[in-house]
């Protein structure tokens, strides 16, 4: 896929970026930085650890994913033959030419998104009836979308030199939905891989939303504005690699 709004090449050494998520929506949003990255995921259980607190629950899962990938990174480099451990094969989703010099440091990004309505956390649906139930529950009411993000810089041995974590919350207001609307949307298959059983960017899901309060991209799955601010404040080298040429 070609880069979105290609940026001038950064002339310095590039940090290796890893996105610890296979979400196509997060990949698309991270491409907006113009920085090349790969995707790696680790198989971890994703229980709701704090049922009444979506921010803490999402943060706990984002940290769990982060720790698992860091452990696999350490395991990888502890092998004499430098073979990959159990981490799934990286997917190259670079947005710039890969001829640039890269450093031994890795910038790891993990995230988790949860939907919260009337004291209930709504995860991905387990089947179409579950998706129908969630959408009926969200119909005509406000809910919150919470995304937690964990960021770190580590060396080739997996030793962390810097780590930050944050959460972002957006309020979403739904129109009243008819059973026919819900049925047709669920039948499309689109809700099945999304927390809360809808995607605000979908051709149908977009029409269910009356208004939002907060970051639209957070509802899509990655809070770009908060990420940008943390990058600028705490990961200045990685920030410059995205938005400057030197």
112 is catalytic: yes
Which residues sit opposite 122 in a β-bridge?
115
Backbone angles phi, psi at 150, to 5 degrees: -120, 130
Q: What is the distance between the alpha carbons of residues 58 and 80, in angstroms, rounded to a whole number? A: 36
Q: What is the distance between the alpha carbons of residues 164 and 63, in angstroms, rounded to a whole number? A: 10
Q: Which residue has the tokens 């809360």?
A: 196
CA atoms within 13 A on the CB side of 37: 26
Cβ distance 134 to 122 under 8 Å?
A: yes
Encode burial over 44-61: b for 16+ CB neighbours within 10 A, e otherwise.
Answer: eeeeeeeeebbbebbbbb
Alpha helices by DSSP H, listed for 114-243, are: 128-138, 179-187, 205-208, 216-220, 224-234, 236-243
Cβ distance 143 to 52 under 8 Å?
A: no
Beta strand 102-117 with 160-174 is unpaired
| Catalytic hit among 112, 118, 130, 215 | 112
Q: What is the distance between the alpha carbons of residues 13 and 79, in angstroms, rounded to a whole number? A: 26
Active-site residue list: 112
């Amino acid at each position: 896929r070609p880069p979105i709004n290609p940026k001038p090449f950064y002339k310095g050494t590039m940090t290796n970026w890893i996105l610890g998520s296979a979400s196509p929506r997060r990949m698309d949003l991270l491409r907006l930085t113009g920085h090349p990255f790969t995707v790696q995921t680790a198989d971890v259980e994703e229980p709701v650890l704090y049922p009444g607190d979506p921010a803490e629950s999402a943060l706990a899962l984002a940290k769990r994913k982060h720790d698992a990938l860091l452990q696999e990174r350490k395991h990888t480099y502890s092998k004499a033959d430098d073979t990959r451990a159990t981490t799934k094969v990286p997917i190259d989703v670079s947005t710039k030419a890969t001829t640039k010099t890269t450093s031994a440091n890795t910038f790891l990004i993990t995230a988790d998104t949860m939907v919260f309505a009337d004291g209930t956390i709504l995860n991905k649906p387990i089947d179409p009836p579950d998706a129908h139930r969630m959408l009926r529950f969200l119909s005509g009411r406000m809910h919150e979308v919470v995304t937690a993000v964990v960021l770190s810089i580590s060396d080739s041995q997996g030793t962390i030199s810097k780590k930050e974590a944050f959460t972002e919350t957006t309020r979403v207001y739904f129109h009243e939905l008819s059973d026919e609307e819900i049925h047709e949307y669920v039948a499309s298959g689109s809700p099945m891989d999304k927390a809360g059983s809808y995607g605000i960017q979908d051709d149908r899901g977009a029409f269910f939303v009356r208004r939002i309060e907060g970051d639209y991209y957070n509802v899509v799955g990655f809070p770009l504005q908060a990420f940008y601010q943390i990058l600028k404040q705490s990961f200045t080298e990685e920030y410059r690699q995205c938005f400057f040429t030197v």
